[in-house]
Amino acid sequence: MSLLSVRGLQAGYGKVQVLFNGHIEVEPGELVGIVGPNGAGKSTFLGALAGSVKPSSGSIEFQGTSIRGKKPEDIVRLGLALVPEGRAIFTDLTVNENLLLGLTGRRDKSGSAKAIAEVTELFPVLASHRGHQAGLLSGGQQQQLAIARALVSEPKLLMLDEPSLGLSPTIIQDVFGVLNKIQKLGTAIIVVEQRAHLIMSIASRTLVIREGHVRATLSREDAKDETKLAAAYFGAGADHE
Ligand SMILES: Nc1ncnc2c1ncn2[C@@H]1O[C@H](COP(=O)(O)OP(=O)(O)OP(=O)(O)O)[C@@H](O)[C@H]1O
Ligand SMILES: [Mg+2]
């Protein structure tokens, strides 16, 4: 049984439909990428899985249970956490207070202190900045804090929406290095990423979303095939000179 199994997912905003056919399968501990042009519906797809966008049709099974229509906080407690685009940390609160807020997503309240200790071990920079105001951290540090806060809920599946946005290449390497560690600890991950090559090098499979449809699934080897990559990204035969 897959950890996450999504079929025919449709969603939008008011009368405007954005997602027409969202589907994905994620196995326990797997890292799956999602790429696609701006406005393709990638964030809407993640939002629909996390419960912040209401799907109008389709099925979302997480650990064999339907989670479609559940509230975001209930979905987090079931083990599916989202780090949204733009990080959404509380900039006026300290690093430690932000981490404590992540505890509300825990199924089991016992072990809270241990969860925070484990997460700060993964991100040494947060340990050394625990008392600092989160808004004064660098972009890369804020991204690490956003990931750390999601991890405090001990998700089985962590979803990240463009974690590299606005970060320098070196910091991006750091953030992706952490994703690697998180995956090694047994957590499955979905990453939406604009940099196709970057995500394809670490994901077992990468889905291409265009105009609200999952149009292709690319393997790690496909990253070397520029023609196939371009066709998947822009549409077969599309002229993108
Ligand atoms: N809250 C909202 N209300 C109304 N329309 C929205 C809202 N959020 C997104 N949209 C629209 O839905 C479409 C898909 O947006 P979405 O954010 O899912 O795309 P995306 O693939 O994540 O793009 P990007 O790469 O720029 O982050 C866009 O046309 C966008 O304008
Ligand atoms: Mg987006």
Q: Is 40 in the pocket of ligand 1 (CB under 6 A)?
A: yes
Q: Is 41 in the pocket of ligand 1 (CB under 6 A)?
A: yes
How far is 2 from 176, CA to CA, in rounded Å? 24
Q: Residue 237 corresponds to which tokens in the numbers above? A: 């035969």
3 state SS of 139: helix
Q: Is 35 in the pocket of ligand 1 (CB under 6 A)?
A: no
- Looking at residue 95, its amino acid is V
pLDDT at 108: 80
**Across residues 91-109, what is the average pLDDT?**
91
Nearest CA to ligand 1 atom 6: 13
Nearest CA to ligand 1 atom 18: 41
Q: What is the pLDDT of residues 177-207, one digit of tens each?
A: 999 999 999 999 999 998 898 999 999 999 9
| Ligand found nearest the CA of 85 | 2
In the predicted model, is pLDDT for residue 239 greater than 60?
no
> Per mean pLDDT, which range of 77-81, 156-160, 178-182 is the poorest?
178-182
**pLDDT class for 241, splitting at 50, 70, 90?**
very low
Is there a contact between 161 and 36 (Cβ–Cβ < 8 Å)? no
Angle (CA) 50-90-127 rounded to 5° is 100
Q: Identify the CATH class of 4-234.
A: alpha beta
Task: Give residues with Cβ within 8 angstroms of 133, minimum separation 6.
Answer: 91, 92, 93, 94
The rounded mean pLDDT for the chain is 92
Element (H, E) at 6: strand 4-13
In the predicted model, is pLDDT for residue 22 greater than 60?
yes
